[in-house]
Amino acid sequence: MSGYDTKTIEPKWQKAWDEALTFRATRSGDKPKYYVLEMFPYPSGRIHIGHVRNYTMGDVIARYKKSTGHNVLHPMGFDAFGMPAENAAMASGGHPKDWTYGNIDTMVAQMKPLGFGLDWSRMFATCDPEYYGQQQSMFIDFMEKGLVYRKNATVNWDPVDMTVLANEQVIDGKGWRSGAEVERRELTQWFFKISDFSEELLDAIDGLDDWPEKVKLMQRNWIGKSRGLQFAFESVDGGDPIEVYTTRPDTLMGASFVGISPDHPLAKELAETNEAVAAFRAECQKGGTTEEALEKAEKLGFDTGLKVKHPLDPTWELPVWIANFILMDYGTGAIFACPAHDQRDLDFSRKYDLPVISTFAPAMGEAGTFILPEDGGPAYVPPKPETVRYLLPIAGGEAMTGEAAVDAAIDRAEKEGWGTGVTKFRLRDWGLSRQRYWGCPIPVVHCDACGVVPEKKENLPVQLPDDVTFDVPGNPLDRHPTWRDVPCPSCGKPARRETDTMDTFVDSSWYFARFTAPRAETPTNMTEAEYWMNVDQYIGGIEHAILHLLYSRFFARAMHICGHLPESAIEPFDALFTQGMVTHAIYKTTGPDGRPVYHYPEDVDLKDGKGFLKDGTEVEIIPSAKMSKSKNNVVDPMDIIDRYGADTARWFVLSDSPPERDVEWTSAGAEAANKHLARVWRLSADIAEGNDTGSDDEALLKEMHKAIDDVTKGIESFGFNAAIAKLYAFTNTLARAKAGRAARRQAVMTLAQLMSPMTPHLAEEVWSMQGGEGLIADAAWPVADATYLVEDTVTLPIQINGKRRSEITVSKDADKAEVEKLALADDAVARALDGRAPKKLIVVPGRIVNVVI
RNA sequence: GCCCGAGUGGCGGAAUGGUAGACGCAGCGGAUUCAAAAUCCGCCGGUAGCAAUAUCGUGUCGGUUCGAGUCCGACCUCGGGCACCA
């Protein structure tokens, strides 16, 4: 007997599936369809064990759904535009295109030996002109429908390299290559009008029943609907009124100053004549553009000397300050500050010695050790639904919730005519312009006579030129000698192409739709889209909870408006599952220069939880760290396949941790997985050669049907680790079973079927060893027989005052009175009661008995 | 700074508000073997006890409940996102 030989088994069955076109997605018959999709990878170079986990989960679902009678679509492609390709070209020459397609070839070659049931015939990369040409065509459709526009927006500017930087290229406020202090600079950029859909994208979240609550909550907060008051502060000095928006109009009597953004038109106007203002504005331009950088930056202010009137008291004059923490993008770019109830405003007021006035305090009785902010306490910011005691109410009573007070304040302002209740959203329009080469060119032309004109559709795709270099910073499209020069699509006179390319989030916002008809001459094919959409199960990382998923939801709506998707597909992902990362310990020592040295796992011997190098030096073990090349803790799936086979890798990434949590890769765990699969193989071989004697067939059947039931439920609920635990238990049962050959053969074939979504090669091998008909991949999923699932008796734990003290065994349909009688007769209970009657007796049928004494 | 999660034995983890620790790893003991590997069997949260058993125990502190890993509040630590990483 040759043993469990993955190097023979795995290629054999992969070939069999290929030849039988087992995983080719078809619309045949009257079967229901099922579309399962994992977030497609960026072609970084090699596949990562995290990819293996992600695609294995999808494959389990895909194979399971196929065996329950669905037409399954399970495609794969590559999110192939983006910065790393340009960085590689800058670092080591070559061309982003060659680098990217080379990586794709490598990664496909690495994925195939893993035996995923994918329809490879549908594969594409977003950098294929056939794909991005269709994207350009849709961009033009979006323009026609008014979903795209241009406006100014801030970017990170490196003043030394004279180039725009991505947020990740700004490190501690400095450019990553030049080290120069980064500035914020305005450029005219293209935007998608996602904000037109704010309300709709928010409301529709309620219908996403099979999305994780946390993702829905994150999206709701991101869209950020708020109700507030918009009103104007009249100028004392005869200038224009300053419009402000506030979500806390109830704190108006606590106003300390009026703040405007450094980018507010008034600030810009002042800067023209006032050098100090101009200098302050320049100071505020320093640093990166991220919200985090802005929030964490030191609060800076500049007193303009201007004064405005308080709307409720014309004699009350408030100073106007320019403050760096006020965003022009949100509200009106101007606020009134209430330091008593906002920590940022309080920090600012203390720094610049501005007044602090509390408008409310904790409700009576809850005051305790409360210190008012004006007396040195922190800003008092209770949740809005909490009742507080108003010291300076502007409307309504003294004790109110913040919510009620805000409503009352808006009512008063509207009645008196000095303000309006306004609903605003935090969600900003989607800026898609990138000043980079390796992306989808924006298909427009700038003409001196006609302005901005979309390219003619028959001229699409607007292809990236191949003859570019990356030896100097900046966008190669900008300095290409001829690429920019084109005739105006409208008047035919010489004009210039747009040199900005699209954000790569655009590429990934509709690939799922393209998979339904990947070679269509239009972005989608309606027949195919109607049949396959929506994605029934989408699987990916939690890091995409907001941007990618929100942009895709917007895109599906925009595509529907332009006739590229049916209305039923405007929420493209019916169910979402977010999986955790695969982590691995880091082995670290400290070098002679005091800097950390990271060691490869194969160089470290593990003993009793400690790690040692070959020379005996003990290494520090940092567990569960994100895999990173610089930390030498990356596990290469190809090494695992080579050593143990694909099924072991697949089994392990599913077995050790719940799928939504991170899993730590350990060599011990991989070995254990491999041992178990070898054991199943031996068990099958034994049974195939075994004899017919035995009894207890009934007991084995019972366990088998329980296993079918448990594993089916486990797969359906993404409890893969729990399903695998049941499979271990059932394997143990089968190995020890004294049943006859027929019953054991049936059991091992069922075991193979239950394992087949996770370890498909081994499952096929066992199936064929036992003389199963056809491929296990085509076999119908086993169904549990309910008659085997019911137990005749149940064991009930007995608690005394909530602590387990004993147990009784009763028949499964014993009524409450009978259980009570048996419980009271129990020795432990009788001892504890000592003749007294229990205070209370709780019987939860089939669950527990609790005697309260 | 803001938003969202997660914390259970030596380790990964299981547990519709109802027996905390299923299953796996490591460890310990045994069988098999000339020996080893492989395999098979048994034990395995802490403390006390020969044992029966008692007692403590799910990041920390409090609360709701007959009963809390699970629900509520505060805090600590770690992770994800913050609009140009993908």
CA of A679: nucleotide with nearest C1': B39
Residue A557 scores a pLDDT above 70: yes
Which of A's residues 714-743 have CB atoms within 7 A of nucleic strand B? 719, 721-722, 724-725, 728-729, 732, 735-736
Per the model's pLDDT, the better-predicted residue between A789 and A275 turns out to be A275
CB A841 within 8 A of CB A848: no
Is A629 labelled as part of a ligand binding site? yes
Contact between A99 and A88 (Cβ < 8 Å) = yes
Residue nearest to nucleotide B66 (CA to C1'): A852
Q: Where are the beta strands (DSSP E) in A366-518?
A: 387-390, 399-401, 419-425, 430-431, 433-434, 444-447, 451-454, 485-487, 494-497, 501-502
pLDDT for residue A563 is more than 80: yes
> Do A343 and A350 touch, CB atoms closer than 8 A?
no
Range list of β-strands (E), A338-395: 360-362, 387-390
Q: Is the CB of A290 under 7 A from strand B?
A: yes
- A840: CB within 7 A of chain B nucleic strand: yes
DSSP state of A535: B
Q: Say whether the CB atom of A14 is under 7 angstroms from strand B.
A: no
CA A5 to chain centre: 38
- Give the residue extent of every domain in chain A: 31-145+194-220+447-581, 148-192, 225-425, 584-626, 667-789, 793-852
C-alpha distances in Å from residue A767, one per residue of A115, A546, A641, A745, A785: 17, 44, 22, 10, 21
Other Cβ atoms closer than 10 A to A521 = 10
**Tokens in use for A221?**
């907060």
A322 closest CA partner among A249, A258, A406? A258
Region for residue A302 given its phi and psi (left: phi exceeds 0; alpha: psi -120 to 50; beta: otherwise): beta
Instruction: Say whether the CB atom of A84 is under 7 angstroms from strand B.
Output: yes
**DSSP character for A254?**
G
Picking from A399, A354, A324, A402, the residue whose alpha carbon sits closest to that of residue A255 is A354
Return d(Cα A127, Cα A130) in angstroms, integer: 8
Report for A291-295, A366-370, A505-509: range of highest mean pLDDT: A505-509
Burial class (CB in 10 A: 0-12, 13-18, 19+), A332: buried
Whole-angstrom distance, CA of residue A346 vs CA of residue A338: 8
Cα of A783 vs its chain's centroid, Å:
34
**A167 within 8 A of A174, measured Cβ to Cβ:** no
Enumerate the β-bridge partners of residue A151.
Answer: A189
Residue scoring higher pLDDT (A640 or A259): A259
- How would residue A1 be classed by pLDDT, with cut points 50, 70 and 90? very low
In chain A, which residues from 428 to 447 place their CB closer than 7 Å to nucleic acid strand B? 428, 430-431, 433-435
Work out the average pLDDT over A45-58.
89
Judge contact between A79 and A41, C-beta under 8 A. yes
* A358-374: average pLDDT: 75
**Quick one: which residue's CA is nearest to B14's C1'?**
A722
Phi, psi of A677 (to 5 degrees): -65, -40
CB contact set of A153 (below 8 Å; sequence gap of 6+): A186, A187, A189, A191, A431
CATH 3.40.1160.10 assigned to A31-145+194-220+447-581: no
Comparing C-alpha atoms, which of A276, A278, A258, A259 is closest to residue A268? Answer: A278
The token pair that represents A265 in the structure block: 């038109």
Tell me the average pLDDT of chain A: 89
Q: Are A470 and A90 in contact (CB under 8 A)?
A: yes
Fold that domain A793-852 belongs to in CATH: Ubiquitin-like (UB roll) (3.10.20)
What superfamily in CATH does domain A667-789 come from?
A: Isoleucyl-tRNA Synthetase; Domain 1 (1.10.730.10)
3-state SS, residue A19:
helix
For B5, nearest residue by CA–C1' is A214
Q: A418 CA to B11 C1', in Å?
A: 66
Counting beta carbons within 10 angstroms of the beta carbon of residue A170, is it exposed (0 to 12), middle (13 to 18) or buried (19 or more)? Answer: buried
Closest CA to the C1' of B39: that residue is: A679
- Note the pLDDT tens digit of each residue in A327-364: 888 888 899 999 988 888 888 898 899 999 999 888 76
What does the DSSP 8-state code read for residue A601?
A: G
Mean pLDDT of A15-36: 94
CB-CB contact of A594 with A546 (8 Å): no
Contact (CB, 8 A) for A242 and A235: yes
> Is 80 exceeded by the pLDDT of residue A691?
no
| pLDDT at residue A299 in the model | 86
Cβ of A193 near strand B (under 7 Å)? The reply is no
> Which residue shows structure tokens 């009978």?
A818
Task: Residue A522: name the closest of A133, A143, A127 by CA.
Answer: A133
User: Which has the higher per-residue pLDDT, A285 or A775?
Assistant: A775
Is A664 near strand B, with its CB below 7 A from some atom of it? Answer: yes
- Strand B: list positions under 7 Å from protein Cβ: 1-6, 10-16, 18-20, 22-27, 38-41, 54-55, 66-68, 79-86
Q: Choose between A793 and A63: higher pLDDT.
A: A63
Q: What's the average model confidence in pLDDT over A385-414?
A: 87
Per-residue flag: A503 CB under 7 A of strand B: yes
The 8-class DSSP code of residue A331 comes to T
Of A73-77, A509-513, A548-552, A638-642, the range with the lowest mean pLDDT is: A638-642
Identify residue A648 by its one-letter amino acid code: T
> Which two structure tokens, joined as six digits, stand for A46?
């090699």
Read off the pLDDT of each residue in A231-255 and give the average, rounded to a whole number. 91
Mark residue A780 as left, alpha or beta (left: phi above 0; alpha: psi -120 to 50; beta: remaining).
Answer: beta
- Domain A225-425 adopts which CATH fold? Isoleucyl-tRNA Synthetase; domain 2 (3.90.740)
Which pair of structure tokens corresponds to residue A87? 């960085």
What pLDDT does residue A629 have? Answer: 62
Q: What confidence score (pLDDT) does residue A466 get?
A: 94
Distance A798 CA to B21 C1' (A): 19
The answer to whether the beta carbon of residue A171 comes closer than 7 angstroms to any atom of strand B is no
DSSP 8-state class, residue A286:
B
What ipTM describes this predicted complex?
0.92
Residue nearest to nucleotide B18 (CA to C1'): A848
pLDDT (mean) for A102-109: 96
Name beta bridge partners: A258: A320, A336
On the 0-12 / 13-18 / 19+ scale of CB atoms within 10 A, A414 is middle
What's the N-to-C CA distance of chain A in angstroms? 65
pTM attached to this predicted model: 0.92
Domains A667-789 and A793-852 agree in fold: no
Helix extents (H) in A659-740: 667-689, 697-716, 720-736
